[in-house]
Amino acid sequence: MKKILIVDPVHEFAINELKKKFEVVYHLHPSNEEFRYLIKDVDAVVLRSGVKINKDIINAGKRLKIIARAGVGVDNIDITAAKEKNIIVFNIPNISFSSVAELTFGLMLSITRKISLADSQLKKNIWRKSELYGNELNSKSIGIVGLGRIGGRVAEIAKGFGMNIIACVKDDSFERRKALKELGIEIVSLQELLKKADIITLHVPLNEETRNLITKKELMLMKNNSFIINMSRGGVINEKDLYEILKNNIIAGAASDVFVKENEENPLFNLENFVATPHIGAMSYESQEQIAKILVKNIINCSEGKDIQNRIC
């Protein structure tokens, strides 16, 4: 019987179905030392964004044949090391885009209407309505950085709020600008977007082009009554610069679902004009169940030598 190690939370459907065919070890968020020990005799490892699998851990997996990312992105997997050992790596993108887009607006409303601050105060029996004036979304300009499945869904929702939509995209062309203009979306440069938008949302992958995409230089271009929301990866915004900007009230506020170092304390958490969630963008029951079904199918097909979806290497 093949052995599967699961190191991040996955939908119970995946666990129950995999147990029918494989030996399953469920050990959440192991340390590097624990991970090296656990992976020694497994054929497949399942992870999401909470655990990194580096070259040392991959090399420790003497029987390792599959690395399954139960979600979008593979920035926490050493793809080069996996290729060297002929390990199959796959992810499951394009499932949770609606879930992430909806949380984007949850954070947007929370920071613009001071919902988190109001909740925190009220639970301490502090009633300070005069401090809780907020901003409406209607007629505001939203600047979307990255117009893939998530960014596109954010644009659709923004229309329902009566927002004006501008966007910055990697693959810019006359044809794309024309097509998006017909949908009510104006394509602009990142600099222009930062200057014009009332609310900025980030939806890009983390790579060498996007790492520190937003630093103090970019944040200083924003209006002092504007907000920024990071739904991509922690490294896209320089957190030290963001902290300095927020602490000095140079912009109105920020929110993030992602951080450079997760499961750790962060100075940003101490700021009233910052709202945080622990990387739960894709954590809806609906999207996780869909991901679980694809995960199980891929692992079974892979173990039987059949083709799989979204193979990276």
Residue 312 placed within a domain: no
239-258 residue pLDDT tens: 999 999 999 999 999 999 99
Mean pLDDT of 184-188: 97
The residues with which 94 forms a beta bridge, in sequence order, are none
Residue 73 has a pLDDT of 84
Q: Is 29 one of the catalytic residues? A: no
Query: Which one of the listed residues 175, 262, 264, 304 is annotated catalytic?
Result: 262
Count of domains for the chain: 2
pLDDT band at 154 (very low <50, low <70, confident <90, very high): very high
Residue 171 has a pLDDT of 86
Same domain, 69 and 194: no
CA–CA dist 168, 192 (Å, integer): 9
Same domain, 79 and 101: no
Same domain, 250 and 135: yes
Residue 310 placed within a domain: no
pLDDT band at 263 (very low <50, low <70, confident <90, very high): confident
pLDDT band at 217 (very low <50, low <70, confident <90, very high): very high
Least confident window among 70-74, 152-156, 245-249, 255-259: 70-74
pLDDT of 270 above 80: yes
Q: Measured between alpha carbons, how far is residue 255 from residues 174, 289, 307 in Å?
A: 33, 27, 40
Q: Is 262 one of the catalytic residues? A: yes
Residue 289 placed within a domain: yes
pLDDT of 19 above 60: yes
Residue 286 has a pLDDT of 96
CA–CA dist 37, 253 (Å, integer): 43
Say if residues 308 and 113 touch (Cβ distance below 8 Å): no
Same domain, 80 and 163: no
Residue 13 placed within a domain: yes
Residue 12 placed within a domain: yes
Residue 20 has a pLDDT of 96
Question: What does the mean pLDDT of the chain come to?
Answer: 96
Same domain, 105 and 85: no
Q: Is 27 one of the catalytic residues? A: no
pLDDT of 1 above 80: no
42-58 residue pLDDT tens: 999 999 988 999 999 99
pTM equals 0.91
**In terms of residue numbers, what domain contains 89?**
3-95+284-303
Same domain, 169 and 226: yes
Query: Which one of the listed residues 233, 272, 304, 311 is annotated catalytic?
Result: 233
Residue 135 has a pLDDT of 97
Query: Which one of the listed residues 279, 286, 289, 304 is annotated catalytic?
Result: 279
Same domain, 117 and 240: yes
Residue 93 has a pLDDT of 92
CATH number at residue 81: 3.40.50.720
Mean pLDDT of 282-289: 96
